[in-house]
Amino acid sequence: MINTGMQKLKTIYSPQFLTDYPTVDCENPDRIEFIHSKIKDIVEFIEPEPCTLSDLALCHSENLIKTVARNKEVYSTAILAAGGAMMAADMALREPCFALVRPPGHHAGHDFNGGFCFFNNVALAIKNLLEQDTIESALIVDIDLHYGNGTYDIVRSDPRITFRNIDAHSREAFFRDLEEALSDGSAYDILGCSLGFDTYIRDWGGLLYGEDYHRIGSSLVSANRRLFCVLEGGYYVADLGTNAQFLLTGILKACS
């Protein structure tokens, strides 16, 4: 049962993320709608603003940006998602924040994209703070089932950013690797999490139970309260909202 007296988590969201833009069937608006309906009582929704061309250029080539811009529906939603992640990172300097956005981003590199991703939301959010000299260091932890190849491509040569990808084949290994990745989390100015729910027991990964996401949320914010999470994968829609609720209540409980 949800504790209605609990503080609410700032959550970046826009109805535009329900746009049925051209992409694969599994990355559909239902993902956002199911999460939105399940977490609405424990969060405070905040409308994002789109990022700018100069923001995109922090991470992406001119050629990639032009390629995405050919489809206006995709482009307008993708720059809003990136702007939402940037807003979440800025808010995280004061309190934990969640970006309920789509399209996802961690498969978008400097001059390539794929895996349902167009622009790299988390990398853009971190690079923006660094560009403004708001932070000096950042840790990105990717808990999605799939390797965040785009994020790695963008941040690998930047000594200010540490990237940790959790790539485990058992529940026990997942939490062991997560604990190791977060062991020095407090040493960084901010912690960004590429939040994938496709590790769920009924999803493609078949690793984690719903309650495990509560533990993950608690572990993340305990490692660094300057935490922002950005939605990536998660395709078992029936339980997607519940899993997000578990994670966010884990964050809130650890903050209380």
Q: How far apart are CA 187 and CA 90, in angstroms?
A: 18
Residue 165: its H or E element: strand 161-165
Strands (E), 100-152: 138-142
Q: How far apart are CA 234 and CA 227, in angstroms?
A: 20
Which residues are identified as catalytic? 107
Q: In what order do the strands lie in the sheet with 191-195?
A: 43-46, 9-12, 97-99, 227-231, 191-195, 138-142, 161-165
Within 13 A of 195's CA, how many CA atoms are on the CB side?
28
Residue partners of 53: CB distance under 8 A and separation at least 6: 65
* DSSP-derived secondary structure letter, 200: B
